[in-house]
Each structure stands twice: as structure tokens, then as C-alpha cells.
Chains A and B, each alone.
Chain A
């Protein structure tokens, strides 16, 4: 039986206006999607996933346009349709779920007001009837207090709940097609699993077709019937999910699949008698004098030459612990020791030698590098500040550091951050930390804003640098795969407390503390049946 596809895209080209002529973002992509089918779009950032997903709604961002090709939704050609026709389809027949629900809900209105906006406006329904529907939809999404939650404002609701509320909102007019644009990327794994389950249930119940955009293979394998892999606005390959997971054809796809296989060489356990390099002892801290304690009696030891991963959800106190160690946030109680010597709580009170020992690399290299400074200045300043090198000696040192992070000094010395890719910027962040010649480097989610291939390159580099310069890392991450590949020791944190701490092999192997168990079992696996199994198992418990 052949049915007419709901959505047919043929040779779509989307271009962006730029100073040097049009830049092609989507280069002749085609797809066809049947009613009730879920298509996964996967690729690295810059692959054109979002642009393509939005294009499927007949929408281009400011400065972009449909250059050629067609998007036919249920017989309507969207690239040529009038703005009014296109607007008329949105919400009612095609809906969109954005990556960050926290940023995509209007802060000025309650959730239910935003839910009912288009059912009332586009379908002329009665507001109170729509609100009854909304409560039902919130219940279906397993939101707590469905009767009451809609009357809250976005800032009063957690990220995972907002993401579910946004899915509920997308389904308000029972559309035929929903575009999910990385709907769980900003969530913790433990929350992600609930949102994934809620989305899948709702899509199945209403037989809604969906385009599911993500960079996470494990997630897409749970959600999609079929997967398309994109790169640079082109199709790499397309296949049903099971076949794509078990037997990818293209080299690029295989490299995506293989990316998590990297493992740093194991190190022998340190001597118990050795003084730890950095030691947190019962550290307690809060933001503001009246705030709650965001850290409560946090203790752990980092030994020389080792990598200690701190894992936990957002808000668990990972970064705050690092900030206390650095002295950026003065601790209220407890102690931070370096080589057994207590460090002053506030970094202003620490000597230059003490500051030099501990350096940090930030998550967002984009915002951590001054866009108006050349690379040579960004790295050169800490060189001069900590080591006193100037003139030619400083230039030599900066060039050495660039070589150490595998960037050609001849090319990058005089560049600005804006001329670098995300991975290269993160490498500059690493070089800047190394410029101080530290012994301990705090890596705060350094790979989480990067694509998997690029992230793997950064991890390899960090391992190499650790051996070359005898560094110790405090590695903050929420990603268990990263822990598996780089950590020697693991600290699991939750709600400002340490749940458990120890060598990786011990923490990652059963028996686990209950929270660690929850965390580990929530990490999506590549097996398409994983979500069903976990949901079933949790339902039984």
C-alpha cells in the first residue's frame, strides 16, 4: 500500500546572506515523511539540522531564504506560500518544540496562557475549554499537579517540566507534524529519560508525525523509525533506525558511532600515605549571606597526576566545589588544602604562587575568551603575569604553548577568537590555563558544548598534556561517557553533598549507591530497546 506522504521535501536549498555573498546552509536535501512516522535528524552542530527542521515548517531565520527546491506539506507548497498561509498552518497542523524550553517560554505569561494562545486564536475555541484540555495534556505529560502547574510562570517551573509543558503546548491543536529541535539536550540525564518517555507516548497516542533533531545517537535510536545523518547541509546517509545502528555504511557515520570508544590509560592507585595535592575537607558554601547552603560538608582528595571526575546533575554543586577550591567563592566552613597547606578562602588573599598552582578551563570557550584580543595576548598575559616572561621570551613561550595544543603557531598566533572553531577556542582556553604552569587544572564541563568528534579530540589532548606536564585534573562533567573515558577517580554529587567517592572502577561497578544507580541507568544506550526496558524496570520498582 502506498500512501501520499504528509511532508515531501525535494532538493531544498537554504542560503544565508553574508558579507561575502550567499552561504549555502542546506544543499539540496530531500525527505519524505508519512503520517505518524518519526524521523531522526542527526549531525554535528553546523550540519544544518535546525535550519532544515525549521525549513520543513516553511520558516527561515532572519537573513536566510529558500533558494530553490520545494517543501510540500499535505499538498501545500510552503516555500512559495504567502506568509498568511504559512502562519495559518503553524500550531494547528505543524508545531515546534524548541531546544531550551526555559528560553522559549515567554517570561511574561503563565504556561496555560501560552498553551491556550493559539487554540483560542487560530481555532476560535473558548479559553476555559482549552484550559480544561491543557490540564489533561499536562497530566498526560506526567507533570506534577497538572491542575495547578499551568498557572505558574516559566521561571517557577524546572527545566524538565518546562520541556514537557512545551511538548504539551505543541500538541494543543493536535497537529499532524511536530518538529522536536534537540528537546532534551539541555536536560540532565535523569530528567531527560522522563521527557523522552512523555514525548514518545504522546506522539504514539495521537499518531503524530515528527522530525526529531538531535546530536545524540543514543537518544535518536530510542525515538525514531528512520534516521538521516547530515553534514555541512548535505545528506550523509539515511536508513531505518535498526539498520543504521547496526550497519552504518558511510565512514563519517561510523566515526560518529565509534567516538565513545576513547579510553585514557589506567594509572596505578596512589599510595595512601601520600599527601593529596588538593584536598577539600567538609567545605560548606552559599551564595549571598542569606542563601541556603549549596555545598554541605563536601570532602574529596585529588592526588598528583590523576584525573578526578565530579559528576552530578545541574545544581548538584559540582561547579561550586571547584569555585571554592579556586577561591572564587569563599567557603563558609571547612578547609581547602594544597599540598597539605590550607589556602585562604578568598582568592584575593592568596599569594601569586598559590594562584598559579590552580587554573581553570571554562565550559563556554565562546564567552571565556575576549573577542577583541588576539590569541597571542590571551595566552601571553598569564605568561607574563605568572612567569614574568616578556618580549621575545614571551613570544617563544606562547608559540610553544600553541604547539602543545596542536595549533600551528604560524597560523594562529595573530588570530582573534572569532576566527576559530569551537574546538579550537577550547584549545586556546587550555593553553591559557597552561600558561601559568599550574599543577592542578579544573576543567568545568570543557567538552559539553562541543560535538562528539571534537570533544574526543579535546579529551585526547588533555590526556597527552597530563603526561607531558604532570598535571592533575579536577574534571567537572555531567556526562558519564566522558567519565568512563578520562577519569581515574570519581566523585558523585547530589544536592550539594557527596554521594560517593572513590576510584572509577569501584564507583562504576555495582553495587552502587541508589543515586549513582539512578544516574548510571539513565544514560541512554545505543540499543533502540533501551528506553522501553528502563521505563518498564522503573515501573516495576
Chain B
């Protein structure tokens, strides 16, 4: 088998293994919570008889290992079980929320990644000039504020003062594409301001590291302009570290958006998680945690694969 393919398969297998471990951890941590699902549901009206009946009905009397594999098997078939509180299938609850969260993350990614990489390249090109300093200070300032502060700041300016965007981003299933973008732009900008500094600084640092290398000097001595040196000669060799930071940030935008979603009352997964925790809807919490963990694992996996594939030493063997 081709060596690169082998490495990619290895990484994917490792990713799947990590997912399994995470799912087990999520399952176990819920098991350790005081009380069980039956007690949650019945609450005050719990009597030993009703509890026993409900436990039997929910299958809680089977051993945990068996229940774990039932749960896992269900998930693999797209069935996350039922909400303890509303009794609705979790899959249905998640589907729309996940779609909303992903579309928000996608829009934020489309804005922040080109912006961050572009600013990083610009800062590297104009190293130690006022351009570089302005970019650094600007992005650092943005990341230094708490997320809700940035969010309310944007709301103050763009919806209260200017009235361009709504301050509440409730998307329903019926919005058009244009409406959706209009509704999610402010939350996306908030996310952008939070993640840009990290990616920008990694891009800048990776490129500057390379600028001291002999092959970059060689490019200069061959007559390449500064822009060509950075974009054509340095950037392709800096892909691996940059992609890794981008992956972490995209995963963060999926799993770490709780505050932003709450501020904008955006019906995403983060909201769902907060609501479910408040209602002690453990099965939904379980499902949401698993999805967040998966996001981190999958995006890191993708970054690993891109790093492998972008490395000429691995791609073109001796």
C-alpha cells in the first residue's frame, strides 16, 4: 500500500478509536451522576414501585456495559435515543440545531480563515512596521475581550445604533438563504473576532520562521519579489502548522459557541446544551457532548491528513 495512504488510514483508525473512548467517557460520566434517569423523570412523584416500573420500561436494569453498546449501536444507526424530559427522539431535536450551529460555524469560517491567513501573510510581509503592529494589536484586542462583551458591542453598534442587523438571531426552518446570512452575520462576526488572532499569529510566525531559511534567501537571490517570496516560496511550507490551528478554531466555533448563541438567542447546539443541563435532560446532554467531542476529533483528523498530504517528503518518497 502507498505509504501516505497507510498513514492516513492509521490516523483515521486512531480518530475512530478516540471517538470510542470519548463516547465511553461521556456515557460513564452520566452513569456516575447521582440518581438515574428514572428518578429524573419521576421527580417528586417517585415511589419505589413507579421507579421500578419505569426502570424496567427504560431498560435501566440491564448492566451498564450492555446499555452502552445499545446506545452506541443506536447512534451508529442515527438514533440517539429519547429525551428524558420531552420524550421526543433526540435525533430530531439535534438535527435542526446541529444544522444551525454548522451554518453559523461555516459562515464564521468563511470570514475568519481568509481574513486571518491574509492578515498573517501581510503582517509577515510588513514585519516590524506599523502595519504589522496594527494587525497584532487589533487582533489581540479583539481576542482579549470576553465573548459576550464583543457580542453586545456589535449589537450596540450594528443593531441598536445603525439598525443594519437584528439583535436576536432566531432562525426557523423557513428562512431563505439570504435571510439566514443576514441573521447569522453578527454572531459570525463575533466568532471571527475571537478566533482571528490565534490563526493570524500562527500564520505570521510560521512564515517568519521560514523567511530565515536558505531556500527563501535563494528565492530572493533568484530575483523574487517580497510578495512572491512569502506567498509562493514560504507559504506552501507553512501549511501544516497553519492548518492545525485553523482546525482547532473551527472545532471551537462548533463546540465553544455556547455564549455567543445565548447572547443572540440563536437556536444552535450550544443553546440546546444549556437548556438541557438546566432541565437535567441527561440523554440530550450526553448526545450534545458526544457531538462536540466529535467535532474536535474530526477537524483535528482532517488537519492531520492535510499536513501529511501537504508534505512533499511523505507524498513523494525516495
A residues contacting B by CB (< 8 A) are 54, 57, 59, 61, 87-92, 95-96, 98, 100, 103-109, 117-118, 122, 152-153, 155-156
Q: Is the CB of B312 within 8 A of A108?
A: yes
Interface string of B30-43 (1 = CB under 8 A from A): 00000000000000
Q: Is the CB of A106 within 8 A of B219?
A: yes
The residue in chain B whose Cβ has the minimal distance to the Cβ of A84 is B225
Q: Is the CB of B214 within 8 A of A100?
A: yes
Q: Is the CB of B225 within 8 A of A87?
A: yes
> Which residues of B189-233 have CB atoms within 8 Å of chain A's CB atoms?
213-215, 217-225, 233
Question: A residues within 8 A CB of B221?
Answer: 54, 57, 59, 90, 96, 98
Q: Is the CB of A107 within 8 A of B312?
A: yes
Q: Is the CB of B316 within 8 A of A117?
A: no
Question: A residues within 8 A CB of B317?
Answer: 156
Question: A residues within 8 A CB of B224?
Answer: 87, 117
Beyond A61-B217, A156-B317, 11 additional pairs, beta carbon < 8 A: A59-B220, A90-B221, A103-B215, A104-B217, A105-B215, A106-B219, A106-B237, A108-B237, A108-B312, A117-B222, A156-B316
Question: B residues within 8 A CB of A89?
Answer: 223
Q: Is the CB of A88 within 8 A of B313?
A: no
Query: B153 an interface residue at 8 Å Cβ cutoff?
Result: no
Q: Is the CB of B316 within 8 A of A106?
A: no
Query: B161 an interface residue at 8 Å Cβ cutoff?
Result: no
Total chain B interface residues with beta-carbon distance under 8 A? 20
14 contacts between A and B (CB under 8 A): A87-B223, A88-B223, A89-B223, A90-B223, A96-B218, A103-B215, A104-B214, A107-B237, A118-B223, A122-B223, A152-B316, A153-B312, A153-B313, A156-B316
Question: B residues within 8 A CB of A96?
Answer: 218, 221-222
Q: Is the CB of B215 within 8 A of A91?
A: no
The residue in chain A whose Cβ has the minimal distance to the Cβ of B235 is A108
Q: How far is the CA of A30 from the CA of B209 in the complex (A)?
A: 35
Q: How far is the CA of A108 from the CA of B223 in the complex (A)?
A: 18
B residues contacting A by CB (< 8 A) are 213-215, 217-225, 233, 236-237, 312-313, 316-318
Q: Which listed residue, B218, B236, B313, touches A155 by the CB 8 Å rule?
A: B313
* Distance between B297 CB and nearest chain A CB, rounded to angstroms: 28
Q: How far is the CA of A108 from the CA of B236 in the complex (A)?
A: 7
Q: Is the CB of A91 within 8 A of B222?
A: yes
Q: How far is the CA of A59 from the CA of B233 in the complex (A)?
A: 19
Question: A residues within 8 A CB of B213?
Answer: 103
Question: A residues within 8 A CB of B214?
Answer: 98, 100, 103-104
Question: A residues within 8 A CB of B233?
Answer: 106
The residue in chain A whose Cβ has the minimal distance to the Cβ of B127 is A62
Q: How far is the CA of A96 from the CA of B221 in the complex (A)?
A: 7
* Distance between B229 CB and nearest chain A CB, rounded to angstroms: 10
* Distance between B10 CB and nearest chain A CB, rounded to angstroms: 15
The residue in chain B whose Cβ has the minimal distance to the Cβ of A102 is B214
Closest 10 CB pairs of A and B: A90-B223, A108-B236, A103-B214, A96-B221, A104-B218, A87-B223, A104-B214, A106-B215, A91-B223, A153-B312
Question: A residues within 8 A CB of B220?
Answer: 59
Question: A residues within 8 A CB of B312?
Answer: 107-108, 153, 155
* Distance between B223 CB and nearest chain A CB, rounded to angstroms: 3
The residue in chain B whose Cβ has the minimal distance to the Cβ of A122 is B223
* Distance between B250 CB and nearest chain A CB, rounded to angstroms: 24
Q: How far is the CA of A98 from the CA of B216 in the complex (A)?
A: 12
Question: A residues within 8 A CB of B316?
Answer: 152-153, 155-156
* Distance between B210 CB and nearest chain A CB, rounded to angstroms: 10
Q: Is the CB of B222 within 8 A of A118?
A: yes
The residue in chain A whose Cβ has the minimal distance to the Cβ of B316 is A153
